[in-house]
């Protein structure tokens, strides 16, 4: 039987409706949550992601401010700009679009953002709090994945979740959030020997590698839930995931498509984090 698709667009639209209502309620109290996005350089992909984020803010009624800097900006200057945003009371969330030019140390930039405005959830304080199970900003893609699974009322507790990929922005935090939901979690990565032996044991398989078609039907246990985070361009220039969709659709119980799967959820969780920051900062 073909897998049921978990469509990120649909899940995102339900959550965005709720966020819109939350924003309207805050507005009646004179609060308009605001996100400031800092973009360095003019990489077309980054510009398109940033535009998507700014547009989404407008759709739920959040204020957004896009600050653009030339690719030649010095690290100290960028750090100063972040400091200005930290001190600006009208800014609730700060996001620095990655990647940054090579001469700028990404870690320094992330650490310069005030943890109370860290809506991307990349600051070591946010990550540390997530590890010890304290309330904080969760990084957006992993938080979106959890929402997608929950949207289908799939039980996570006690399930074996296998995560392929261990990046700081997707794989690692995704595993921690599933652990928080009482799953048993296995991480796989480029040094894993016999990847398929692990993926075939997964009740929920999350693939975040960035290699088109790395997971086929032989790597998936029949009935598993498969979340495809990967975004790749195939030889024809079409967007495809890490999972061979047509094959895996025949064995999985649920599957996320690419595009239209995890992507729309990532921005939605950013909006949610911005509203959360606005509330936290005012003790609401």
Q: Can you say how many angstroms the Cα of residue 171 is from the centroid of all Cα atoms in its chain?
A: 10
* 128 contacts 122 by C-beta, under 8 angstroms: no
Does 220 participate in binding ligand NDP (rule CB under 6 A)? no
Of 33 and 175, which CB lies nearer to ligand NDP in the complex structure? Answer: 175
Residues 20-39 as x/- pattern, contact with ligand NDP by CB under 6 A:
--------------------
Active-site pick, 118, 120, 219, 242: 120
When asked if residue 93 is in the footprint of ligand NDP (CB under 6 A), the reply is no
Query: Least distance in Å: CB of 258 to ligand NDP?
Result: 8
- 159 carries an active-site annotation: no
Q: Where are the beta strands (DSSP E) in the chain?
A: 4-5, 34-40, 63-69, 93-96, 160-164, 184-188, 204-207, 225-228, 232-233, 239-240, 254-255
Three-class DSSP category at 53:
helix
Question: Of the listed 53, 117, 172, 249, which one is catalytic?
Answer: 53
Interaction of residue 141 with ligand NDP, rule CB under 6 A = yes
The 10 Å Cβ neighbour count of residue 282 is 12
Whether the Cβ atoms of residue 15 and residue 268 lie closer than 8 Å to each other: yes
In the shown chain, the binding pattern of residues 143 to 182 toward ligand NDP, with x for contact by CB under 6 A and - for none, equals ---------------------xxxx-xxx-----------
**Minimum CB separation from ligand NDP for residue 26, in Å?**
26
53 is catalytic: yes
Which neighbouring-strand residues pair with 38?
67, 96
Rounded Cα distance between 117 and 274, Å, is 8
Which positions touch ligand NDP (CB under 6 A)? 141, 164-167, 169-171, 188-192, 195, 208-211, 229-232, 262-263, 266
Hey, which residues are catalytic here? Answer: 53, 97, 120
């Amino acid at each position: 039987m073909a897998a049921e698709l978990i469509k990120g667009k649909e899940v995102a639209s339900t959550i965005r409706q709720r966020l819109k209502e939350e924003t309207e309620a805050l507005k009646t109290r004179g609060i308009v949550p605001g996100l400031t996005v800092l973009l360095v350089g003019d990489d077309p992909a980054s510009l398109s992601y940033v535009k998507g984020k700014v547009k989404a803010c407008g759709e739920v009624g959040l204020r957004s401010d896009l600050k653009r800097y030339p690719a030649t900006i010095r690290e100290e200057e960028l750090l100063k700009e972040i400091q200005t945003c930290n001190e600006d009371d009208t800014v609730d969330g700060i996001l620095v679009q990655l990647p940054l030019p090579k001469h700028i140390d990404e870690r320094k930039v992330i650490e310069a953002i005030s943890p109370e405005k860290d809506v991307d959830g990349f600051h070591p304080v946010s990550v540390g709090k997530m590890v010890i199970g304290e309330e904080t900003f969760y990084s957006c893609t992993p938080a979106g994945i959890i929402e997608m699974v929950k949207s289908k009322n799939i039980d996570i507790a006690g399930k074996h979740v296998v995560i392929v990929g261990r990046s700081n922005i997707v794989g690692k935090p995704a595993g921690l959030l599933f652990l928080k939901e009482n799953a048993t979690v296995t991480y796989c990565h480029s040094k894993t020997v016999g990847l398929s032996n692990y993926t075939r044991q997964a009740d929920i398989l999350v693939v975040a590698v960035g290699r088109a078609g790395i997971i086929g039907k032989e790597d998936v246990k029949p009935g598993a839930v498969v979340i495809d985070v990967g975004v790749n361009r195939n030889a024809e220039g079409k967007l495809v995931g890490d999972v061979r969709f047509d094959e895996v659709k025949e064995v999985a119980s649920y599957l996320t498509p690419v595009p239209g799967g995890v992507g729309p959820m990532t921005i939605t969780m950013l909006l949610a984090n911005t509203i959360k920051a606005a509330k936290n900062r005012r003790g609401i």
